[in-house]
Structure 1
Amino acid sequence: MKDYIEERVLEVANYIIDSKSTIRKAAKMFGVSKSTIHKDITERLPKINPQIAKEAKKILDINKAERHLRGGRATKMKYKSANA
């Protein structure tokens, strides 16, 4: 694996852990696709640093469990502002 990829993977993982960010937010922040962030965290990070991988996985699991709530809240706000 190239050095710049390893650096990005660690930077993304630390960003997700520190800010409790979603994959979408991390992708926007680092200027890469959601697929790249997902591959970095799920495949590359465990090979580089398993401990950080576990921490990042916990955050992503929480985000995944809450996503249906966030989507519902966003839809509610969308229609509330459209009808106002």
Structure 2
Amino acid sequence: MKDYIEERVLEVAQYIIETRATIRKAAKTFGVSKSTVHKDITERLPKINPQVAKEAKEILDVNKAERHIRGGKATKLKYKPANA
């Protein structure tokens, strides 16, 4: 694996751990695709640093479990009248 990829993987993982960010937010912050972030965290990170991978995976699992709630809130806000 190239050095710049390893650096990015560790930076993304650290960002997710510190901010409890979603994959989408991390991808937008680092200017890469969601697929790249997902592959970085699930495949590359465990080979580089298993302990950090475990921490990041726990956060992503929580985000995944809560995403239906966030989606419902976003839809509610979208259709809520402005004056209500």
TM-score of the pair, normalised by structure 2: 0.96
* 2:56 alignment partner in structure 1: 56
Answer 1 or 2: which has greater helix percent: 1
TM-score of the pair, normalised by structure 1: 0.96
2:15 corresponds to 1:7? no
What is the number of equivalent residue pairs in this alignment?
84
* 1:41 alignment partner in structure 2: 41
Question: Cα deviation per residue 1:20-76 (whole Å; 9 max; x = unaligned)?
Answer: 000000000000000000000000000000000000000000000000000000000
Aligned CA RMSD, in angstroms, stands at: 1.2
Identity %: 83
Q: Which runs of 4+ in 1 moved over 4 A?
A: 81-84
* 2:32 alignment partner in structure 1: 32
In structure 1, the gaps of 5 or more residues are none
